[in-house]
Amino acid sequence: MLESPSSSKPLNQRPLILGSTSRYRRELLERLGLTFATVPPEVDETPAPGEAPRALALRLAEAKARAVAALHPEAVVIGSDQVADLAGQPLGKPLTHERAVLQLRAMRGQTVLFETAVCVTCQASGFVQTELATVEVQFRDLDDDEIERYLRAEQPYDCAGSAKSEGLGISLLTHILNDDPTALIGLPLIRTAKLLRAAGLRLP
């Protein structure tokens, strides 16, 4: 159970929580040298009818942060979500090999936008801010054999877009355009650090 300091204490003494079950986000946040806990957010991630990928990522990031903050009102909470945008259609985690094959076939030769949103909130202080990082990724014109060999080698079934750019997935691409280098992995650290400072935390 997280300790809850009194509301009179400065925010940099509040607990920090990452509202996520993603090991990728946990490993990225560890780079900032902060002590934090992880709490899974209970949020329905189903897109609303006609919801654009960017809007979906922003909505879910804030929903995750608020869901965890409601349970830990004294804490500073980070919520994040990533949605791949293929010609306006959202692509989430494939979860299975068959769905990953379909995603990579649809993306071959295409430009895909990866929308990664991050929200930082503290219920006790009333702080809530959200930022979005958009990464443009150009996929090579992959053949079916390349797709199959890649998926068997890396099994990126828990990644939106079915590819890990930090691993072998980089070989599937022709370019990445990005102003926040870790956004494509799942958490834009430049924006996250900015929001944490705005919330009152002191980063090492």
Pairing outcome for strands 76-86 and 111-122: antiparallel
- pTM here is 0.88
Per DSSP, 156 falls in state -
Whether 122 has a pLDDT exceeding 70, the answer reads yes
Residue type, 44: D
Angle at 37 between CA 156 and CA 75, to 5 degrees: 125
Q: Does residue 179 have an active-site annotation?
A: no
Whether 11 has a pLDDT exceeding 90, the answer reads no
Q: With cut-offs at 50, 70 and 90, classify the pLDDT of residue 12.
A: low
Q: By percentage, how much of the chain surpasses pLDDT 90? A: 88
Domain locations in the chain as residue ranges: 11-198
Q: Which of 44, 81, 143, 179 is catalytic?
A: 81
Q: By percentage, how much of the chain surpasses pLDDT 70? A: 94
CATH 3.90.950.10 at 11-198, yes or no: yes
Q: For tokens 């379909």, what's the residue?
A: 102
